[in-house]
Amino acid sequence: MQRLLPPQKSTSAQTLGFPSRYGSGELGRRHLSDWGSASRRPLLCLLPSMASCLAPPLLLLLLLGSPSAVAPNRCVDAADACTADARCQRLRTAYVVQCLGRAAPGSCPRARCRRALRRFFARGPPELTHALLFCPCGGPACAERRRQTFMPSCAFSGPEPAPPSCLAPLDACEHSRVCRPRLLAFQASCAPAPSNLDGCLRDQIPSCLRAYAGLVGTAVTPNYVDNASARVAPWCDCGASGNRREECEVFRGLFTRNRCLDRAIQAFDGGWPSVLHDQLDPHQDPEHSLLQVSSADASLEGSSMLSVLPVLVLQPLL
């Protein structure tokens, strides 16, 4: 298997083992908007003792509530299915609590948030966690909900309004015992197949999706770049990568110019898990999800009922 990250500190496009067809090129800066931007002021704080504040778009979604049946939303279906599953909901509540916390004014406990996210994807039912991550969307409301799935203002983007060079998360991943093997697995599992016009072999799709999900919560956490497409990328660009520009472009191209990854995400629509239909009960008590979140706090070590209150308010969005 080709190695993505060499044991040495310095790396190059050749030693990374990327396919040469990625090449280099001007990608330009992408503006990855996020409601958690430091330049935007939140409208509502749930508790004075906690800086768990809701920014305008999130507050708007809360006020709007769940979409109507006129516009089916697969991401809502995925969230409802996770809520109906005790293990999925418990793990999701845990990462929401962590990612909404505040380590200091204007910051979040990113390490704890990402650790909780890794636990969610590692221990949660794959058919439900993947449905939350890859739910197919036909409109911006659904796509924005999908983009906000794992609290990107803490887990994905940094405190600065502009993304850093991709060399920063890449170098951090190289020296991380958690990130490095996951990035290697992603490279191997999502490598485009030259013999296939779609870019991805059919039996390669599940492993590619698993490997991609495994990167969430690491130094190279990817996310959807906007609510108008299914394009994904880490929170970084290559505008300030100096003489390592080619290496930077090749790394970012693993996400932005990867036909196999694109095909795998698109194919998830055709493989929409049947378990979701089993989990969703139209006659379910509407208070069921609220009660389930309330009972989940027993598994959150060191969490009080106050720390779960934001989750109760956020429940229509989750």
User: Domain locations in the chain?
Assistant: 74-314
Closest to 114 in 3D by CA, of 36, 185, 219, 236: 219
DSSP code at position 45: E
Q: What is the SS3 assignment for 132? A: helix
Query: What is d(CA 175, CA 172) in angstroms, rounded to the nearest whole number?
Result: 5
Closest to 52 in 3D by CA, of 302, 296, 311: 311
CB 256 within 8 A of CB 231: yes
CATH architecture of 74-314: Orthogonal Bundle (1.10)
For 200-273, list the strands marked E by DSSP: 222-224, 232-234
DSSP code at position 237: B
For 8-126, list the strands marked E by DSSP: 44-47, 50-54
pLDDT tens-digit profile, the chain (318 residues):
444 554 444 443 333 444 433 333 333 333 333 333 333 333 334 333 333 444 444 433 433 334 444 457 899 999 999 999 999 999 999 999 999 887 666 678 999 999 999 999 999 999 999 999 999 998 999 999 999 999 999 999 877 788 999 999 999 999 999 999 999 999 999 999 888 887 888 889 999 999 999 999 999 999 999 998 999 999 999 988 888 999 999 999 999 999 999 999 999 876 676 656 655 554 444 333 322 333 333 333 333 333 333 433 344 444
